Amino acid sequence: MHSLTIAQVITDTRHALESVDVRLLLQHVLKVEYAFLLTYPEYELTATQKQSFQQLLQRRIQGVPIAYLIGKRDFYDLTFKVNEAVLIPRPETELLVELALERIPPDRSCRILDLGTGSGAIALTLAKHRPLAQMVAVDVSPAALAVCRENARTLRVDNVNFVTGNWFDELSGERFDLIVSNPPYVARDDLHLQQGDLRFEPQVALAAEDNGLACIQQIIAAAPHHLATMGWLLLEHGHDQAEACRELLQQADFSNMCSHPDLAGIMRVSGGQMRS
């Protein structure tokens, strides 16, 4: 087998793949920081490293998301393990985290619910930043919840309970000060489902009936039975769903309905507060 150095890998792959992807795959295979690649371009990959890299390269060229190939994704200020059972955490979901943190007191206990927790990106970030809060993380997918549990262990977050089930079904009689959710909200016939990373992510994490609004509808309708007085519900939604969300919140008798824009100015999180 021919020898292969870091510098050769970078040159050979420049037409096939984004350089950031090559860098991340190399770091993953060699188990090194970026600085190593810069400092030792003449480093020769071992036969095993070369084989692993070439296999990953082929899968990346076929479209498999880089996060699944390297098994992790940064979100907010933490790094989450991910695999094919969970949605890859998105930067836009950090807006929901920011808005939730504004509503969680740092100095006293409160109860928070994350519906559709997946990797735990939202639940574990909030729980880590608000150690006095008691978090409940729900997902219908046992495989997703297993990833969330592992992330909680790795990130040393212990103020979280995990519940497998359909939205509120396993939470009869329980009330929370804040409910957050990034539910599936893509319409089943949306062509984006057949493009890019979405082709490889779990359908149960992405798509919903009723033009993408079915899960949002179910959550808003049931939330008043699980919120404390003055408690907040915050939901991430699609770029064109803010108005529909606020209408649903109004029908469910929420007050202080609001929608919040992402960095591109698009309304991506809506919410409302329970009346006193």
- Which one of 13, 24, 67, 139 is in contact with ligand SAM (CB under 6 A)? 139
Does 269 participate in binding ligand SAM (rule CB under 6 A)? no
Whichever of 26 and 72 has its CB closer to ligand SAM, that residue is: 72
Sign of the four-CA dihedral 137, 147, 70, 125: positive
193 interacts with ligand SAM by CB under 6 A:
no
Question: Cα-atom radius of gyration of the chain, to the nearest Å?
Answer: 21
Question: Which phi and psi angles does 259 have, rounded to 5°?
Answer: -130, 145
**Both tokens assigned to 244:** 């529909």
Q: How far is the CB of 31 from ligand SAM (least distance, A)?
A: 26
CB contact at 8 A, 141 and 162:
no
For the residues of 217-241, what is the DSSP string, one character each? HHHHHHGGGGEEEEEEEEEE--TT-
Per-residue exposure over 79-100, b if at least 16 CB sit within 10 Å of its own CB, e if not: ebbbbebbbbbeebbbbbbebb
CB of 273 to ligand SAM, least distance (A): 22
147 near ligand SAM, judged by CB under 6 A:
no
The least distance separating ligand SAM from the CB of residue 235, rounded to whole angstroms, comes to 11
Taking the C-alpha atoms of residue 84 and residue 89, their distance in angstroms, rounded to an integer, is 12
Q: Three-state DSSP class for 16?
A: coil
Q: Which of 67, 112, 127, 138 binds ligand SAM (CB under 6 A)?
A: 138
222 binds ligand SAM (CB under 6 A): no
Task: Determine, following the binding rule CB under 6 A, whether residue 135 of this chain makes contact with ligand SAM.
Answer: no
Cβ 175 to ligand SAM shortest distance, Å: 18
Among 24, 95, 113, 121, binds ligand SAM (CB under 6 A): 121
Residue nearer to ligand SAM on the CB measure, 120 or 272: 120
Q: Which residues bind ligand SAM (CB under 6 A)?
A: 86-87, 89, 93, 115-119, 121-122, 138-141, 144, 166-167, 182-184, 204-205
